[in-house]
Amino acid sequence: MRDHVTPRRVVIIGGGFAGLFAARALRRSPVAVTVVDRRAHHLFQPLLYQCASGILSEGQIAQPLRKVLRRHPNVDCLLAEATDVDAEARLVHARRPDGGALELPYDDLIVAVGMRQSYFGHDEFAVHAPGMKTLNDALDIRRRLYRAFEMAETAADAEERRQWLTFALVGGGPTGVELAGQIREIAGHTLDREFRTIDSAQARVLLFEGSDDVLGAFGPHLARRAARTLRSLGVELHLGTLVTDVGAHGLTVRDRAGTTTRFAARTVLWTAGVEAPPIAAALARATGATQDRAGRIAVQPDLTLPGHPEIRVTGDVMSLNRLPGLAEVAMQSGAYAGRAVRHAVEGRTKKPKPFTYRDLGSAAYICRGRAVVKMGPLHLSGVLGWFVWLFIHIAFLTGFRSRLGAVLSWAVTFATSARRERAFTSSGGVPRDRPPRRT
């Protein structure tokens, strides 16, 4: 029997959009909330590519979790990685950065761990083709992008120079399209007349996509508009291709006819596919929950797991009605889970309504003054789409400083093509957040 003095313990795994909105929904509840995340910051993932390309700084897209939740006296933040769940004992097992173990008891568990980059069974590709899911990834990509131009300037021969000035991106979703557009703007405008040996505008950007369209989720009309804009920028689209090998000097792809082609490129970036982190499989084993091919956990309409009404799975890692992995889905599902716990604590006996996602649209930025936006039946592109994209991202950036800083940075970049955040380390790499796959 619970001690009436002890508040109900709520553990939230993950400090992304879903975890943050769940914690905020519980701010006035008589519960003790623990947010556990392997990183000490909340990251605005949709703008990672702008950090990677030098428009925004790390501080403009990432805020310390403790600062974001400082006005929530019932919320505590722990820097640790959740490794396992004991559903019977209601314990979350976690590992501190120094390897020390933690045990977090819970009465309610909200899982909001998101997804990580997937290489479709070829994790060896990650060494040569970084993904973009974390702040470390963005800084690694920034280093590779700007370093490539520096290496081309001192290349020994024309062939090596061509390889350094060739950038290959795998995946034609929003991240791939946005990053491809940014690289072309860097090459054609930002670095214009900065080099003496090379012409940065001659850089090639190759975008490989397995389907017949880029931005396929936006519908055929916007997909065609996006493809036309990319081609006008000089991006070379290779649709209907699958990557079969990635190395330090390029990648190999196979088209639908079975023809294999090798492309020489010293910079390969991976923006295709996601998979659930290991904690999702651990939770599935502990509860008997089912997972889809990407590892997402199937949930009931109220986001709980069958037989475990105290566990709710939210955001990208949940599988429900084919909902997309969008920030808006994470925000709404996290808030829903937090409210459900709050209502239970308040003793409301009425069964909560099933979770319903309100589609507020999707947006992808391609280049200055060009974006595509899908909001229900409303499809926008070009300058109007860009203004809507701008409003959406300003509205959802966390913190006044982030919003003001982003607006100022965008104003400078859009007006002058200058990018203030071009600093990078020339030797070594940024530590990777992705652990090696256990076999």
pLDDT digits (tens, 9 = 90+) for 243-285: 999 999 999 999 999 999 999 999 999 999 999 999 999 999 9
E strand map for 336-397: 362-367, 370-375, 378-381
Nearest residue to 148 (alpha-carbon basis) of 128, 131, 169, 163? 163
> What is the pLDDT, as a whole number, of residue 4?
52
**What does pLDDT average to over the chain?**
91
CB atoms within 10 A of CB 151: 18
Instruction: Compute the distance between CA of residue 373 and CA of residue 66 in angstroms, rounded to an integer.
Output: 33
Across 423-438, average pLDDT = 56
Q: Is the pLDDT of residue 1 over 50?
A: no
pLDDT of residue 401: 59
Q: From the centroid of its chain, how far is CA 202?
A: 30
pLDDT tens-digit readout, 392-420 = 777 777 665 566 777 777 777 777 777 88
- At residue 172, does pLDDT exceed 50? yes
Q: Which of 79-88, 403-412, 424-433 has the lowest mean pLDDT?
A: 424-433
Asked if the model's pLDDT at residue 298 lies above 80, the reply is yes
The Cα-based distances of 415 to 370, 377, 408 in angstroms read 14, 32, 11
pLDDT at residue 304 is higher than 80: yes
pLDDT score recorded for residue 387: 86
What residues are annotated to the active site?
A: 178
- pLDDT for 429 beyond 50: no
Q: How far is it, in rounded angstroms, from Cα 111 to Cα 283?
A: 9
pLDDT per position as a tens digit, 183-194? 999 999 999 889
Say which DSSP state 40 is in.
S
Q: Supply the pLDDT for residue 436.
A: 46
pLDDT number for residue 338: 97
Please name the residue ranges forming H helices in 165-309: 174-185, 220-233, 278-287
Write the DSSP symbol of residue 347: T
Average the pLDDT over 211-237 and give the result. Answer: 94
- What are the DSSP E strand ranges found in 288-391? 297-298, 304-305, 308-313, 318-319, 362-367, 370-375, 378-381
Q: pLDDT per residue over 351-364, tens digit each?
A: 889 999 998 888 89
Is the CB of residue 285 less than 8 Å from the CB of residue 84? no
* pLDDT above 50: residue 61: yes
Which pLDDT band holds residue 205 (cuts at 50, 70, 90)? Answer: very high
Task: Encode pLDDT of 96-150 as tens digits.
Answer: 999 999 999 999 999 999 999 999 999 999 999 999 999 999 999 999 999 999 9
- Quickly list DSSP for 97-154: TTS-EEEEE-SEEEE----EE--TT-GGGGGTS---SSHHHHHHHHHHHHHHHHHHHT
Over residues 37-66, the mean pLDDT reads: 92
Query: Is residue 113 within 8 Å of 279, Cβ to Cβ?
Result: yes
pLDDT value, residue 259: 95
| Cβ atoms of residues 36 and 11 within 8 Å | yes
Higher pLDDT, residue 335 or 418: 335
Alpha-carbon gap, residue 169 to 112, rounded angstroms: 28
What pLDDT is recorded for position 399?
61
Comparison of pLDDT for 56 and 102, the residue scoring more: 102
Tell me which of 393 and 339 has the higher pLDDT.
339
